Chains A and B, each alone.
Chain A
Amino acid sequence: MSAVDARAGARSADTVGAGDRPPPRRRRPRHLREYLLFLAFIVPNFFFVIVFAYWPVIYNAYLSLTSWNMLAPVKEFVGLTNYTDLLTDGDFLGTLRITVIFVLGIVLGSMVLGLAIAVLLNEKLIGRGFVRTMAFAPHILSGAAIGTIWLFIFDPNYGLLRPIFGVVGLASPNWMTSSKWALPGLIIVYLWKNMGFIATVYLAGLQNVPRDLYEAAAIDGSGPWHTFRKITFPMLSPVTFFLVITTTIGTFQAFDIIALMTGGGPGNSTTILSWFIYQQAFKAFDAGHAAAAAMLMFVVLIIITALQARFLERKVHYR
């Protein structure tokens, strides 16, 4: 996290701050006013973020060191036991494995599909404006609505996929009632939800690629795939950077659709980290393990985001 914004901040200093301001002289009084104004502007937002996001994290960090059933008057201090329990628990490690597949599947899949759709919609085709608008719509539906719709679509008996599979002479898999298909099924639902949003953002990026680059490529006799690889994709790298990070964070937090469609099952086949935390806290009433798992997720997300920022940014092409 800090890496992203450190960088973003650094850029901001370059673009807006230091460059166009006169060298500081007798900075004190004027700066003081600006500092105060800065504080006044950020205080409302920070107040709410601290009270309703960071205070819970602190409280949660404390809970992660206790054993507590969420009802007893006392919380017993147990040190790091909850953490060592989790990290030696096969089920929890399985959860991590499933989380990795889930996140990778959704992030990679929706990036590829989104980019492909964006490239398609970037062509001058009749009706593309309509498709572009509609493609975004799934992104704003509530999880409850999406879960309800897709449960029906996946239903092996009445679902919409049965006739579609029937066309090619196959039986529709028992998506949500099969350990093999439930995770891919969920990934499909999230791809459906995400890809239009990603396509829209990519499309915007595509339209900002200067035409002269393509013209130059055309003169060089470069083929379409080559042009895409050498010009389009590099030019899109800032978009990719933004999308990968926000999609990753969003996917880690995925919950409501899973709650409605699989409840983490069958078996543990769709128990990702966020569902595990929910189940430990509100089904097993095991606040300590839930809190420890949540702290791990928090830290993992920060690390992943920082790494992504570092790795991707090296490849980002800024104009």
Chain B
Amino acid sequence: MTTSTVDSPARRSSRGGRVLRYVLLVVVACVVLGPIYWLVTSALKPTADIYTYPPTWIPNPLHLRWSNFADAWHAAPFGRFFLNSLIVTAIGTVGEMLCATLCAYAFAFLRFPFKKVLFGVLLGAMMVPGHVTLLPNYLTISDLGWINTYQGLIFPGLGSVFATFLLRQHMMTLPGEVLDAAKVDGAGHLRTMFRVVLPLSRPMLITAGVITLVAKWNDFIWPLIVTNSTNMRTVPIGLLFLKTQEGYNNWGAIMAATVLVIVPVLVVFFFAQRQIVAGLTQGATKG
């Protein structure tokens, strides 16, 4: 990044202008946070308080219903679901990032005939409508004997397009001198990659990694289809166990389970967010 100081053009704004900006900032914060705040507080209310008017904005701190979380946790083996989600997300993310990094490096730095066409083919995979892959992939996984296994959950997600795209765009912005220096050094491509390119790409690796991780954690349809038994289910499917067909739902528990689903992702995000912002800056603006 060349310039990091922020000095906006409209510095000479009047006092009224400043107040207006703060008002807008507060509005943005409320719009963004309101729904999330409401979800989290609902998870601590009894169902009757969720369906009430006027809405309870601030739940009574003395009557927070922590038992919603216990109810949700006991409605299905969420412990097992978390373990499964962790395994699938961790291995899947590492695997996909490995594929993506190698592939991005090749497209950024190595010569090959019809490279552009190949890259086009890769990007085209982003445009494949989601549902068309379900049945064929189920059949493929079934032929491999992988229905209801971790492999079945993980393998179809290992191919990477978006992460490859991000990484390649980033790698192409790396200053040529660094690479040349490595070349003079006699470093092979593998060494150049590990010693020079990857360290320089850290923010982008983290960005792509988090985006990949979030997608895997949130995935719903594929895990539902490819697993048969409670022992192999992942966290998002746990929500299904809480809803009944007859429309009588313990909404407090459902909200609590929803919070359980999103918290791990939010935690990862907050830890990584600085890097993500840096990563996106590089990926999108240059290249």
Contacts and interface: CB of A to CB of B under 8 A. Distances in A.
Decide if A and B touch, CB cutoff 8 A: yes
B140 to A, nearest CB: 7
B42 A1 contact: no
Contact of B36 (A42, A138, A203): A138
A2 B117 contact: yes
Nearest to A222: B9
Given A11-B172, A200-B280, A201-B280, A120 B54 contact: no
Contacts of B6: 122, 124, 206-207
Contacts of A46: 103, 122, 159
Given A45-B99, A301-B127, A134 B29 contact: yes
9 contacts: A5-B123, A8-B287, A44-B99, A55-B140, A120-B28, A136-B269, A140-B266, A149-B38, A206-B6
A16 B109 contact: yes
Interface in B246-262: 254-255, 258, 261-262
Contacts of B100: 45
Interface of B: 1-10, 21-22, 24-25, 28-29, 31-36, 38-39, 42, 50-55, 98-100, 102-103, 105-113, 115-133, 135-137, 140, 155-162, 164, 168-169, 172-173, 176, 179-180, 189, 210, 214, 217-218, 220-221, 236, 239, 254-255, 258, 261-262, 265-266, 269-270, 273, 276-278, 280-281, 283-287
B131 A290 contact: yes
A305 B98 CA distance: 27
Q: Which of A60, A119, A273 has the most CB of B within 10 A?
A: A60
Contacts of B111: 17, 31, 34-35, 38
B136 A60 contact: yes
B234 to A, nearest CB: 11
A45 B28 contact: no
A170 interface: no
A18 to B, nearest CB: 9
Contacts of A121: 25
Nearest to B114: A9
A132 B6 CA distance: 14
A305 B35 CA distance: 33
B53 A211 contact: no
A210 B206 CA distance: 26
A204 B280 contact: yes
Nearest to A199: B28
Nearest to A205: B285
Contacts of A238: 284-287
A281 interface: yes
Interface in A28-74: 31, 34-35, 37-39, 41-42, 44-57, 59-60, 70
A7 B61 CA distance: 58
B39 A149 contact: yes
A11 B287 contact: yes
A255 to B, nearest CB: 6
B220 A144 contact: yes
Interface stretch (A90-98, A100-108, A154-162, A179-187): A154-162
Contacts, number: 335
A165 interface: no
A208 B285 contact: yes
Nearest to A150: B35
Nearest to A274: B129
Given A120-B25, A158-B53, A214 B284 contact: no
B130 A274 contact: yes
A125 B6 CA distance: 11
A277 B39 CA distance: 31
B280 A133 contact: no
Closest 8 CB pairs of A and B: A204-B281, A48-B159, A9-B116, A41-B106, A142-B218, A49-B159, A2-B120, A45-B103
A168 to B, nearest CB: 15
B155 A52 contact: yes
A42 B125 contact: no
Given A20-B180, A201-B280, A41 B103 contact: yes
B266 A137 contact: yes
Given A46-B103, A52-B140, A243-B284, A297 B129 contact: yes
Nearest to A16: B172
Contacts of A115: none
Given A31-B111, A142-B261, A228-B9, 14 more contacts: A1-B126, A48-B156, A60-B132, A144-B220, A160-B38, A192-B35, A204-B281, A205-B285, A211-B3, A218-B9, A242-B285, A255-B130, A294-B132, A298-B127
A47 B99 CA distance: 10
A78 interface: no
A128 interface: yes
A217 B9 CA distance: 9
A140 B8 contact: no
